[in-house]
Amino acid sequence: MGRRMKLHKAGLAVMLLALVLGWAKAVWAQNEDLDQMIDGVKQTDYIKERSYVGILGTSADIDQYGDFNGTNTMVFENGGTTVSNGVTYTEYDEEDLIPSITRQFGWGVLFGHREGPWAAELSFWRSDHTATWIGSNGAGGSITFTDPASLQAINIDFKRYFFTAFPTQPFISLGLSFPWLYVEDQSFLVDTSTSPPSIVSLNNETISGIGFELGAGMELYLDNNFSLLGGLYERWTEFDQINGAAKIPLNQMYFNGNPSDIGALAGNGLNIYIGTTFGVQ
């Protein structure tokens, strides 16, 4: 057993030596690469450093399945009527529709800075849509609401470019998004003391949250001052705020009137864009 232990120790020493030598070789190679770089930028990079602004044409959507399928509702139940000093007061329920939206074209602007293969961007997107909701009218029939809507977002993205020695460069992107969906006339105050319940007022609503996005694309540089780009990314969003008729927080509302179903709404979507950027000094 002692001999085998010695052999094991010798084998372990050889393995450690091999690892150390491999690590040293990698560090040496990296240092040789760094010798060809200045301030983290390879001298062979086609674009070494630039700040830029851009204009985008976009195609945006929220997937029409799950929570945004056009049939769901967030409900806050106020409790009907109360009597105080002989006066009857009616407390109206709030119902905020969660519509589906069609894919539409829109526009965007961006501001960015790049050094070597890395870039950071801040952008704003907006697209106008048609919001549709289909549900019960409370009397055994169905009712459809179709109203104007807009999907807007502020995005913060980080990009990594590849084949940076060439004018045409693919990239991947990773970022955070702060989207909000504005819908006209799909938030209601409802009088449930009547049969069937009656709508007291129509109001606009804004559904907002935070998203994570992952994308890829391609950028063609004519020079340091001008480029053409296109790409797509998937956005996974948790909508955790709603601003409707009575400004009731989302975490106090019931999903489809179910008291055991309280929480954020999931709304993912594939977003596509093309555009151009202009270098700024």
pLDDT at 39 over 60: no
Position 209: which residue type?
Answer: G
pLDDT digits (tens, 9 = 90+) for 164-208: 999 999 999 999 999 999 999 999 888 877 777 778 888 999 999
Query: Is-contact 204 185, C-beta < 8 A?
Result: yes
* Token representation of residue 215: 């994308």
- What pLDDT, on the 0 to 100 scale, is given for residue 24? 47
Tell me if the pTM is above 0.85: no
Residue-range domain boundaries for the chain: 1-35, 42-280
pLDDT at 143 over 50: yes
Range with top average pLDDT, 2-11, 123-132, 242-251: 123-132
Q: What is the second-level CATH architecture of the domain 42-280?
A: Beta Barrel (2.40)
Query: Is-contact 255 220, C-beta < 8 A?
Result: no
Q: Are strands 226-243 and 265-266 parallel, antiparallel or unpaired?
A: antiparallel
- What pLDDT, on the 0 to 100 scale, is given for residue 66? 82
Query: Is-contact 76 257, C-beta < 8 A?
Result: no
Residue 161, strand partner residues: 171
Q: Between vectors from CA 134 to CA 133 and to CA 135, what angle results, nearest 5°?
A: 125
pLDDT digits (tens, 9 = 90+) for 86-140: 555 567 888 899 999 989 999 999 999 999 999 999 999 999 999 999 987 666 6
Residue recorded with tokens 């200045």: 38
pLDDT digits (tens, 9 = 90+) for 60-93: 999 988 899 999 999 888 765 555 555 555 678 8
The secondary structure of 202-245 as a DSSP string is EEEEEEEEEEEEEEEEEEEEEETTEEEEEEEEEEEEEEEEEE-T
Give CA 67 to chain center in angstroms: 15
**Continuous H helices in the chain:** 2-34
Residue 256 banded pLDDT, cuts 50, 70, 90: confident
- What pLDDT, on the 0 to 100 scale, is given for residue 32? 47
Q: Between vectors from CA 76 to CA 70 and to CA 77, what angle results, nearest 5°?
A: 125
Query: Is-contact 205 183, C-beta < 8 A?
Result: yes
- If one counts every other C-beta atom within 10 angstroms of the C-beta of residue 151, the result is 26
- What pLDDT, on the 0 to 100 scale, is given for residue 45? 85
